[in-house]
Amino acid sequence: MARVYRIPEFDRVTEIVKDFTNGFAACDVVFGTVNMCHVADDDKVTIMYSTPRAVNGAPDEFADNFISRYPRCAVLSQITLSLLHEIGHMVNKEAMTHYDANVSTSAEYFELPNEKIATDWAGNFASKNLQFCLDFDTKLNSAILRAHMTFVARERMRIALDFASK
């Protein structure tokens, strides 16, 4: 289940993502546990973003699939590719179909019609606007690094103070 978080250090990152996504269509942006685009019944769009994380050193299957289809995009970070994909869902919401997806592999998931539409939009956009996407990628990842470093420093201090008070 997706969860939304409010970590003050990431407020600036959320602003950067919101400025970028709202350049395509109006939406809310929240920091959470996954990257996803949600369209509510009233057509309100919310994009949730999450910072990249490695799982047992495994490659990111989404990024691998994306780059295999759009090799020019290999210079972009996984989070930027994922955000572009979610924007692809948002700007193509009228083309999205409702279906019961019973897939057992990531490869099958990436071939679902809605996923292909979003990835194709993102890959085409990024390929045609590579410098624009690279500029955003640099800005976003710099902000994530700063936020992460500040968050870790705060948490270390909190733990140290907690330990010292015992």
Break the chain into its structural domains and give their ranges: 4-164
pLDDT, tens only, 88-136: 999 998 888 877 678 888 888 898 899 999 999 999 999 999 999 999 9
Take residue 40 and report the two structure tokens written for it: 């509510």
pLDDT value, residue 162:
80
Q: Is the distance from CB of 36 to CB of 86 less than 8 angstroms?
A: yes
Q: List, as one string, the DSSP characters of 110-142.
A: HTSHHHHHHHHHHHHHHHHTHHHHHHHHHHHHH
